[in-house]
């Protein structure tokens, strides 16, 4: 009887430990999502919901959709550098709430702080090893993020239209969106997405010399 009681107590203890661990994981995600939402709102107050979505989407999918044609990606980058007179924003910033990828400012090339070839090579290599979530997994992640947006009481211009657009996109198992016109008209942050590994190994050392 004592042995049975001991086993029962051990089982309850294990279940309790697992429950606490899971609760801590959920809590950590909640905190990280909310911090990312607050940071994005502070840095880009004119953003629409689609801009918020894009930031979190980039954290999971990286730059893959931009690099289907590497030669075209290179031409587009050179054209953007040639045609952009004003480049504002931070040197870099993490995407989403996990920081799997980094938005890296094109100004680093324009100012000669990072050679073009180094920048572009790191950008191209950033597609290696990407293991994006399935359409269903990404839809669930975005639903969780939407819940935290609602919990914070955040609202955005054209919010309902953006929600409908994003939901329709997810139903079609697509994920790519463009920045809103409001973002493009008020934010001069021209960037490319790099993996955190590529950024930390090849770009960051050049910025800390």
Supply the pLDDT for residue 198.
Answer: 97
For residue 78, being part of any structural domain is answered with: yes
The DSSP line for 43-88 is H-TT--HHHHHHHHHHHHHTTGGG-SSHHHHHHHHHHHHHH-----
Q: What is the mean pLDDT of the chain?
A: 88
- In-domain check, residue 15: no
pLDDT at 68: 76
- Asked if residue 28 belongs to a domain, the reply is no
Enumerate residue ranges in the chain where pLDDT < 50.
3-24
In a domain, 191, yes or no: yes
- At 26 the pLDDT is 53
- Give the per-residue pLDDT at 40: 97
- For position 27, what pLDDT does the model report? 66
Kindly state whether residue 5 falls inside one of the protein's structural domains.
no
Position 16 in a domain = no
Q: Is residue 17 part of a domain?
A: no
Range of the domain at 117: 33-207
Q: Residue-wise over 41-51: b if at least 16 C-beta within 10 A, else e?
A: eeebeebbbbb
Total domains present in the chain:
1
């Amino acid at each position: 009887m004592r042995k049975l009681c001991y086993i029962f107590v051990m089982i309850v203890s294990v279940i309790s430990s697992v429950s606490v661990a899971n609760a801590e994981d959920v809590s950590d995600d909640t905190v990280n999502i909310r911090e990312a939402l607050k940071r994005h709102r502070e840095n880009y107050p004119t953003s629409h919901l689609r801009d918020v979505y894009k930031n979190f989407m980039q954290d999971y999918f990286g730059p893959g959709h931009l690099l289907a044609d590497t030669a075209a990606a290179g031409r587009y980058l050179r054209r953007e550098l040639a045609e952009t007179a004003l480049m504002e924003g931070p040197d870099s910033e993490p995407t989403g709430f996990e920081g799997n990828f980094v938005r890296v400012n094109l100004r680093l090339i324009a100012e000669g702080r990072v050679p073009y070839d180094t920048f572009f090579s790191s950008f191209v290599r950033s597609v290696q090893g990407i293991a994006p979530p399935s359409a269903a997994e990404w839809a669930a992640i975005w639903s969780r993020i939407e819940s935290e947006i609602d919990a914070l009481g955040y609202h955005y211009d054209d919010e309902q239209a953006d929600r409908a657009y994003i939901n329709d996109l997810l139903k079609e198992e697509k994920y790519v969106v463009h920045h809103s016109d409001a973002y493009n008209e008020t934010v001069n942050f021209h960037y490319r997405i790099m993996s955190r590994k590529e950024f930390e190994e090849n770009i960051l050392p050049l910025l800390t010399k």
